Amino acid sequence: MWHLSALPVVIPFLVAPVLVSVGTVVPRWCEDATAVVVALSAVTICLLLAVHAASEPFAYWMGGWRPEHGVAIGIAFSIDPLGAGIAAFAGVMVLAALAYSLRYFDAVGGLFHGLMLLFLAGMVGFCLTGDLFDLVVFFELMSTVAYALTAYRIEERAPIQGAINFAITNSIGGYAMFIAVAMLYARTDELNMAQIGAVLDGHPADALVIVAMVLLLLGFLTKAAAVPLHFWLADAHAVAPVPVCVLFSGVMVELGIYAVARVYWVMFAGAMAPHTDPLRAILVALGATTAVLGAVMCVLQRHIKRLLAFSTIGHVGMFVCGVGLLGAKALAGVAVFIVGHGLTKAALFMICGILLHRFRTVDEYDLHGRGREVPVAGALFVVGGILLAAPPPFTEFQGKALIEGSASDVGYGWLLVVFAIVSALTAGAVLRVAGRVFYGWGPREGPDPRQARAAQERVDETREDRGRTPPLMLIVPGVLLATGVVGGLVPGAVAWVARSAARFADHPAYAQWVLHAHSVHWPPAPPMHVETIDVIIGMLTLVAAFGVAAAGLFGRPLLRRLPRRVRAGGRGAVVGLRGLHSGHIGDYIAWWTTGAGLLGGACLLALR
Amino acid sequence: MTALQAVALLLVVAAGTAIVFISDPLRQTLVLSIFGLTLTLLFFVLQAPDVALSQLVVGSVGMPVIILAALRKIAQHASARERHEEDGE
Amino acid sequence: MAFAPFAAAAWLFVIGLYGVVSSQNLVRTVLSLTVVQSSTYLVLLGVGYRHAAKAPIVADIPTTSRLVDPVTQVLVLTDVVIEATVIALLLALVVQAHKRFGTVDPAKLRALRD
Amino acid sequence: MSRRGRLLLFGCAGSGLLAVLVIGLHGLPPFGDFHGAYGLLVDRLEPGRRHATDIVTALNFDLRAFDTLGEEFILFASVTGVALLLRHLRDEEDEPPRRSVDDHRFAGASDALRLLSLILIPLLVSLGVYLALHGALTPGGGFQAGVVLAAGPLAILLAGRYLALKRVAPHWAVEALDGIGALAYAAIGLGGLIFASAYLENFLPLGTSGHLLSGGMMPLNSIAVGLEVTGAFLLTWTEFLDQDLLVARGEL
């Protein structure tokens, strides 16, 4: 088992250059098959590692450079069940994206497949590594691949702009992380995260540690798209090709959240112990703002991919809240929620791909009623919308209920309401799209001129005749949704995640097994009792989601009855909110700086 | 801090700041290569010869070639576009 | 004086961001990004430096002599490579942007206004 | 947001961030007083363990070789990305029209410049090879060598012979170089897994300290990186310059 540890990263590394080099010569099916086999092997190995690590987590020292005199001098993969599990999930997403693009995507030589495999390697390495600088390296690998893939359709204008905004914002986040690495190295003489944590433990956090933590969080939260670092996300997700969106929304963004949890629990949990309350307040506030802004923007969209992108921001906000609660139970909830959300969101993007394939546009109004031609896709879209509302007893509900339970334990019961609103709004927006596009409900309206222009520029992403939808394009999202429905119901699955999360969050034990290979005494899994109130609220959220959808479809006459002043105010707020998302990189970085300054200032003031 | 280090650091700060405040991209590229050289000097006096060498090859060969090629291409697109518009009239 | 390299780094980080924010030409945006990145070199190497120490090459000197920290230098090496890759990708994007939009002024790229 | 509004916002936010950074960085040990147990330990261990004399290279290609692996693949991904982004589109002509050699002359290249470039080429190549091979001994290593080596063919281009460049360094060969270098680095690591106990573990004899082939697998790793970087930079440059020609043709 030990010997397999490096392979889920190394196998894609070995195959990607070959695919890129011979891509123009070998037939397409060859590339497809190779890429699928590689992804499959990575998933298998990660699952094996996760299962093994569940009984005994271990550190794998690259080059055999084990710690000398208790000082880590090499780079380790620290393999714990949660990290390996998330890595496996990333692999599953890559596999799904590859399977979906088999019949759909016009790949350029072997470049697409090669980049997808590098993306896989980047994500898996990011999940497994236990070294701070290595974490940054894999972060950059993931990012570099992602920038290129975003602009895959170079013949269109929007992807170029989206990729530029994405690349600049994320690079700046990366630079902040480099400075954080230098600061932590200067303080602790170490780069291994477990060791950094051990050194930081005994001392109260001073300005250096706080600022280093803030800079690291800035990097990860830029990737995770927390407000106000989030502007790139909608741009990039709206324009990237569908299989790439699947990876972005399904797992890449969530890895930012994962990394926040990782660095907090491994490095800062000890030093921050006296300040958990203010830190929790800061992170929850950040998460709640993100969630609400994402949900509101989501409802305002008519470009379906952009709508889904904002819904991801809404969910990211909930994840940030979950991690920000700084408890093992909430962390377990986040992990479950991430998997459920990833599966659902990936499937929804794939159905968008079907629309794009068939009608060359994803403008909700332009597609009014045209979706009737693909009834199965419509049914799947509705299922996805319902799942997004996290109704009991499915996977997402289970995760959300854990977070909510944990929130009320530490006095953040009001998060329940925020979560319900955000879920209802995002799911409602998706259901509204489903009603309008696939069932032709609601009034008609002309196409959006800008999207119409984009549709003209659009060169087919596909090789297939657009008259019929390849069955695989329906099967893959179907399978993902089915997994999302069933996953949380498998007996013991959620309990396994909860146990893993408890281990992940056991700060002292982590240093023990990484640095000294000691077997440790494990904490008990957090109790996973689901309150009745959560079930009731969950059902109500679903009803509210249908309400939001109905209001979006038929509510315009009602809107006109509102007093003029209210309408004008509402319109002003909407225009202002939209105006923020200007697509201008200067604006985005000005906001990024604002976020950085505010987060830094808040932490410096509150955590000392 | 030795005098040489202080001078190198000052040069780096001056060149870096200059890049930001110059608006003509061509002149900016020139300053960028000077910036690369000042960084090389700084790395050298900070006893980091490996890094200095790396910065030298990237900053004075690798990057300027890419930037100049990109600028040339942008200029060409622009002139091609203008000509195209003139033809159109 | 002992804080000078770090102060310089903080300055370069923020002034580089200013370049990105105020830029009216994407090429200038990208070059400003290199200024932001150079701040990370300064912090890393500034941290690893030791007074009156030699470069970490033990060919001609006794192994007991005082050396500067080699680890931060390795990190900067990686940093330099990452800089080159990001700049190359971004410039490729800028070239394409000019082709599609006919301008490199970020205020005139209007494909993604919400 | 208007430009003024943007700058105003940044003015406030930027000074805030500057303050945060300065406050945080103030906690660093004063410049020059760093202790650095990790580095000291490596300084002490490395010459004895691996017979390398350049500690930075030892860290780069042995102790922290896994970072370098990631770094090489970042470079590889970036080059692949540039190739993807600057690819020729269907509406921009597929086949370059056949032209005589003269058409691809770099306009500004005088005979003197050509001569200079010709003299430069062997110098660059030998410097590159030296750097790649002596990585474990003196400053330099695969990365620096790669860029220098790539500059050789670039000099051919400056000497005004685009087609000659294509002949000396045909696209497929450069692409293969890039791929083979990246692949080789990952594969050498596999040797550690097979012949020793862990990925990237040294499995080669260490040689005598100060000799050319000392440092175990370091020279091999260095050469692999050198190949990849040569290929990567050449590809990136020609990718940028290639499109140049394409656009130039479009003008005519």
Closest chain D residue to the Cα of A60, Cα to Cα: D198
pLDDT value of position D93: 45
Percent of chain A surpassing pLDDT 70: 98
| Residue D248 sits at the chain B interface (C-beta within 8 Å) | yes
Closest chain A residue to the Cα of D34, Cα to Cα: A186
pLDDT (average), residues B47-68? 88
CB nearest C110 (choices: A234, A297, A583): A583
Closest chain D residue to the Cα of B59, Cα to Cα: D147
pLDDT value of position D71: 94
What confidence category does residue D96 fall into, taking pLDDT thresholds of 50, 70 and 90?
very low
Contact (CB, 8 A) for A342 and A274: no
Q: Chain B closest CA to D140's CA: distance in Å?
A: 5
What confidence category does residue D95 fall into, taking pLDDT thresholds of 50, 70 and 90?
very low
A77: three-class secondary structure by DSSP: strand
Q: Give the Cα separation of A447 and A364 in Å (integer).
A: 8
Please state which of the ranges A372-376, A473-477, C7-11, D37-41 shows the lowest mean pLDDT. D37-41
Closest chain B residue to the Cα of D147, Cα to Cα: B57
- ipTM computed for the complex: 0.94
CB nearest B66 (choices: D57, D151, D240): D240
For residue A225, the one-letter residue type is A
Any chains having at least 3 CB pairs less than 8 A from chain C are: A, B, D
D49 vs A261, more confident: A261
Helices (H) and strands (E) in chain C, counts: 3, 0
Structure-block tokens of residue A605: 């003031």
Q: Do the chains contact at C33 and A172, CB–CB below 8 Å?
A: yes
Contact residues, chain C, for B81 at CB < 8 Å: 102
Q: What number of CA atoms fall less than 13 Å from residue A469's CA on the CB side?
A: 24
pLDDT value of position D123: 82
What confidence category does residue A342 fall into, taking pLDDT thresholds of 50, 70 and 90?
very high
pLDDT (average), residues A433-456? 84
Give tens-digit pLDDT for A289-329: 999 999 999 999 999 999 999 999 999 999 999 999 999 99
Please state which of the ranges A63-72, A323-332, D68-77, D229-238 shows the lowest mean pLDDT. A63-72
Contact residues, chain D, for C63 at CB < 8 Å: 43-44, 47
What confidence category does residue A471 fall into, taking pLDDT thresholds of 50, 70 and 90?
confident
CB nearest C31 (choices: B19, B54, B58): B19
What confidence category does residue A82 fall into, taking pLDDT thresholds of 50, 70 and 90?
very high
Q: Do the chains contact at C88 and D60, CB–CB below 8 Å?
A: no
Query: Would you say residue A207 has pLDDT above 70?
Result: yes
Give tens-digit pLDDT for C9-48: 999 999 999 999 999 999 999 999 999 999 999 999 999 8
D33: three-class secondary structure by DSSP: strand
Q: Do the chains contact at A144 and D179, CB–CB below 8 Å?
A: no
Chain C 23-42, CB below 8 Å of chain D: which residues? none
A87 contact partners, CB below 8 Å, separation of at least 6: A8, A46, A49, A50, A123, A124, A127, A128
Q: Comparing C-alpha atoms, which of D42, C78, D2, A503 is closest to residue B55?
A: C78
pLDDT value of position A21: 87
Q: Do the chains contact at C18 and D137, CB–CB below 8 Å?
A: no
Query: Would you say residue D6 has pLDDT above 80?
Result: yes
Query: Would you say residue D235 has pLDDT above 80?
Result: yes
pLDDT value of position D41: 80
A-C interface (Cβ pairs under 8 Å ≥ 3): yes
Q: Do the chains contact at D63 and A65, CB–CB below 8 Å?
A: yes
Q: Do the chains contact at D39 and C71, CB–CB below 8 Å?
A: yes
Q: Do the chains contact at C8 and B55, CB–CB below 8 Å?
A: no
Query: Would you say residue A257 has pLDDT above 60?
Result: yes
Closest chain C residue to the Cα of B47, Cα to Cα: C55
Query: Would you say residue A506 has pLDDT above 80?
Result: yes
A210 vs D87, more confident: A210
Q: Comparing C-alpha atoms, which of D88, D95, D242, D232 is closest to residue D166?
A: D242
Give tens-digit pLDDT for A560-578: 888 888 889 888 998 888 8
**D163 exposed, middle or buried (CB, 10 Å; 0-12, 13-18, 19+)?**
middle
pLDDT (average), residues A543-567? 88
Q: Give the Cα separation of D227 and D225 in Å (integer).
A: 5
What confidence category does residue D111 fall into, taking pLDDT thresholds of 50, 70 and 90?
low
pLDDT value of position D101: 41
Q: Give the Cα separation of D43 and C74 in Å (integer).
A: 13
Structure-block tokens of residue C40: 């990370």
Contact (CB, 8 A) for D235 and D79: yes
Q: Which phi and psi (to 5°) does residue A88 adopt?
A: -65, -40
pLDDT value of position A110: 82
Q: Comparing C-alpha atoms, which of A300, A151, A246, D98 is closest to residue C95?
A: A151
B-A interface (Cβ pairs under 8 Å ≥ 3): no
Query: Would you say residue A244 has pLDDT above 90?
Result: yes
What confidence category does residue A117 fall into, taking pLDDT thresholds of 50, 70 and 90?
very high
Query: Would you say residue A333 has pLDDT above 90?
Result: yes
Q: Comparing C-alpha atoms, which of A309, A596, A288, A347 is closest to residue A475?
A: A347
Q: Give the Cα separation of D241 and B65 in Å (integer).
A: 9
Any chains having at least 3 CB pairs less than 8 A from chain A are: C, D
pLDDT value of position A534: 86
| Residue A141 sits at the chain D interface (C-beta within 8 Å) | yes
Q: Give the Cα separation of C39 and D31 in Å (integer).
A: 15
pLDDT value of position A602: 95
Q: Do the chains contact at D35 and A138, CB–CB below 8 Å?
A: no
CB nearest A235 (choices: C78, C107, C112): C112
Q: What is the overall mean pLDDT for chain A? A: 91
Query: Would you say residue C80 has pLDDT above 60?
Result: yes
Q: Comparing C-alpha atoms, which of A524, A284, A493 is closest to residue A404?
A: A284
Cα distances from C108 to residues A293, B71, C100, D101, in angstroms, run 26, 18, 12, 40
Closest chain C residue to the Cα of D54, Cα to Cα: C57
| Residue A456 sits at the chain C interface (C-beta within 8 Å) | no
SS (H, E, C) A28-56: HHHHHHHHHHHHHHHHHHHHHHHHHHHHC
Query: Would you say residue D58 has pLDDT above 70?
Result: yes
What confidence category does residue A108 fall into, taking pLDDT thresholds of 50, 70 and 90?
low
Closest chain A residue to the Cα of D24, Cα to Cα: A208
Q: Determine which helix (DSSP H) or strand (DSSP E) holds B39, and give its type and residue range.
A: helix B25-45
Percent of chain A surpassing pLDDT 90: 66
pLDDT value of position C60: 64
A71: three-class secondary structure by DSSP: strand
D251: three-class secondary structure by DSSP: helix
Q: Do the chains contact at D240 and B83, CB–CB below 8 Å?
A: no
Contact residues, chain D, for B77 at CB < 8 Å: 247
Q: Where are the alpha helices (DSSP H) in A225-327?
A: 231-239, 242-247, 253-263, 276-300, 304-324
pLDDT value of position B73: 83
Gyration radius from chain C CA atoms: 19
Query: Would you say residue D92 has pLDDT above 70?
Result: no
Give tens-digit pLDDT for D161-205: 555 666 667 778 888 889 999 999 999 989 888 888 889 888 888
Closest chain A residue to the Cα of C105, Cα to Cα: A584
A489 vs A120, more confident: A120
A580 vs A290, more confident: A290
pLDDT value of position A227: 87
Q: Give the Cα separation of C111 and A583 in Å (integer).
A: 8
Give tens-digit pLDDT for A264-297: 999 999 999 899 999 999 999 999 999 999 999 9
Neighbours of A486 (CB within 10 A): 12
Query: Would you say residue A421 has pLDDT above 70?
Result: yes
pLDDT (average), residues D34-46? 79
DSSP A460: P
What confidence category does residue D247 fall into, taking pLDDT thresholds of 50, 70 and 90?
very low
| Residue B70 sits at the chain C interface (C-beta within 8 Å) | yes
Query: Would you say residue D119 has pLDDT above 80?
Result: no
pLDDT (average), residues C61-88? 87
Q: Chain A closest CA to D137's CA: distance in Å?
A: 20
